[in-house]
Amino acid sequence: MSDSAAKVEVLQCGACGAAVPLAAGATFPCPHCGSEVTPSAAHVALRDAVNGDADARRRAEALARELSAAGPALRALGRFVSEGGYLLPAFVLMGVGAFVSMMALFNLQSFGLSTLHVDVIDVLRDGEYMALFVGIIAIFVGAIPIVAAFGLRTASGRAKLLLSLAARPPSHAGENPECRQCGAPLAAAAADALAVRCHYCAADNLVAVPADVLGAKISATANVNASIEIAAQEHRKERVLVRRKLILRLALVVAPIALTYALFGFGATTGRPDWRDAIASERLWLPVYVDGATAKSAVLTYSCTARDAFSVLMALRHGESLSAVVAPPESAPSAVLDTPQGKRPLIDGRGGPVQVDVPHSGWFEIVVQPGACPLDRFGDPVTLRLDVR
């Protein structure tokens, strides 16, 4: 019993000797035998002092609501993962995650084109693209263990804390719960009350702890039921365990990403030049009929007698413009820049250049259709120069 409780002894029934909780009214009913017990002035003063402290009751109610146990779904998920039940679904989810990853990259590409004016798939290096693809799968599959680890530890920590603040069960059936700190009988609580303050030692007691928490076998519970301070220490220990568990789960998610980048992130693996390198040097890919290329222009040369269309891919950046100059102009080829918004001509009907603004950063296909060859130039070369500004 605490010092404050020792000042006033617990009120006892004169008929049966049972402890009597302090209640409203001039006399208090004995919960054991039903006799009316007349309290002393000190007992009445204790009751009125605690009942008059409305702020304390509100604080206790707020604390009780804040410490409400983690939901049953979160606890069930934590047990499911911790007991190994997630291993088989994880393999199934990896296949689903691959589809989700492809859809996510498709949406990311659409967002980049419409909002950022960047084709994300084009500008990423092969290793970065693979890391992003595998990373989305890892996050999709690993999110459940991460949430489960958090849920399990949170549920365990809150259960310990709830048990440490819970009122003791009554000594006999039908009696009121007893104070967790001094053992005195608590006053009858309202139907919706979460906490009751002891009249003798002023300790707040939770009286609405979920049944599954009260029935749980949680180690070291007996060591945390003495005071709120000790319970808070236990809660801080649980928070440290939660952080460690989350770090471990995050490491399992990040590891595939790091491994993928280590294996594939150094250099291209698809045969396509790196877009960022191409921007700074020769911008062309699939260089058919290319005589020369720099970071600002490319020269294509083909025979005047050519009839089949051909194409090249060119690395371009948003904000740049592209035009084409043909010589001789009377060869009248057509050259178009293929964009998501449609094909844009680079040469007008008279063989003159047309300046086209680049809509986004990425790789673009330029399709060239040779024109009619004048008889006096039969067999002569035709030069098409692509200029970037």
Average pLDDT over residues 219-231: 45
Per-residue pLDDT band for 50 (boundaries 50, 70, 90) equals low
- Could you tell me if residue 251 is inside a domain? no
- Could you tell me if residue 345 is inside a domain? yes
E strands, 16-103, where?
28-29, 36-37
Residue 127 has pLDDT above 80, yes or no: no
Q: What is the CATH classification number for the domain harbouring 359?
A: 2.60.120.380
Residue 171 has pLDDT above 70, yes or no: yes
Task: Provide the Cα torsion 304, 305, 310, 313; round to 10°.
Answer: -20
Residue 1 has pLDDT above 50, yes or no: no
Average pLDDT over residues 209-237: 51
Return mean pLDDT, the chain: 75
Residue 218 has pLDDT above 80, yes or no: no
Alpha carbons 125 and 88: distance in angstroms, whole number: 33
Residue 252 has pLDDT above 70, yes or no: no
pLDDT given at position 220: 36
Residue 219 has pLDDT above 50, yes or no: no
pLDDT given at position 365: 92
- Could you tell me if residue 242 is inside a domain? no
Average pLDDT over residues 74-92: 62
pTM of the model as a whole? 0.51
Average pLDDT over residues 233-240: 68
344: domain range?
275-388
Of 89 and 171, the structure prediction assigns the larger pLDDT to 171
Average pLDDT over residues 227-243: 64
Average pLDDT over residues 300-317: 87
Neighbouring C-beta atoms of residue 89, cutoff 10 Å: 14
Average pLDDT over residues 205-232: 52
Site of tokens 């009445």: 44
What letter does residue 377 receive in the DSSP assignment?
G
Neighbouring C-beta atoms of residue 165, cutoff 10 Å: 24
Q: Which of 3-7, 203-207, 357-361 has the lowest mean pLDDT?
A: 3-7
Residue 18 has pLDDT above 80, yes or no: yes
Per-residue pLDDT band for 296 (boundaries 50, 70, 90) equals confident
Neighbouring C-beta atoms of residue 9, cutoff 10 Å: 14
- Could you tell me if residue 379 is inside a domain? yes
Which residues does residue 166 pair with via DSSP β-bridges, in sequence order? 206
Residue 119 contacts by C-beta under 8 Å, 6 or more apart in sequence?
109, 112, 113, 360, 361, 362, 363
What letter does residue 114 receive in the DSSP assignment?
I
3-state secondary structure of 225: coil
| Tokens (6 digits) for 368 | 């060239």
Q: Which of 82-86, 206-210, 254-258, 346-350 has the lowest mean pLDDT?
A: 82-86
- Calculate the alpha carbon distances from 175 to 20, 178, 286 in Å: 9, 9, 89
Of 198 and 152, the structure prediction assigns the larger pLDDT to 198
3-state secondary structure of 283: coil
- Could you tell me if residue 120 is inside a domain? no
% the chain with pLDDT above 70: 63
Q: Torsions phi, psi of 176, nearest 5?
A: -75, 155
Residue 262 has pLDDT above 90, yes or no: no
pLDDT given at position 223: 39
| Tokens (6 digits) for 309 | 């269309």
% the chain with pLDDT above 90: 11
As for how many domains the chain has, the answer is: 1
pLDDT given at position 281: 83
Alpha carbons 136 and 260: distance in angstroms, whole number: 12
pLDDT in tens, 333-366: 889 999 888 899 999 877 788 999 999 999 999 9
Residue 261 contacts by C-beta under 8 Å, 6 or more apart in sequence?
127, 128, 130, 131
pLDDT given at position 373: 75
Q: Torsions phi, psi of 12, nearest 5?
A: -120, 150
- Could you tell me if residue 380 is inside a domain? yes
Q: Which of 6-10, 148-152, 215-219, 382-386 has the lowest mean pLDDT?
A: 215-219
Residue 61 has pLDDT above 60, yes or no: no
pLDDT given at position 319: 92
- Could you tell me if residue 281 is inside a domain? yes
Q: Which of 22-31, 143-152, 230-239 is predicted most confidently?
A: 22-31
Angle at 316 between CA 310 and CA 319, to 5 degrees: 135
Alpha carbons 68 and 73: distance in angstroms, whole number: 14
Chain centroid offset of residue 117 CA: 27
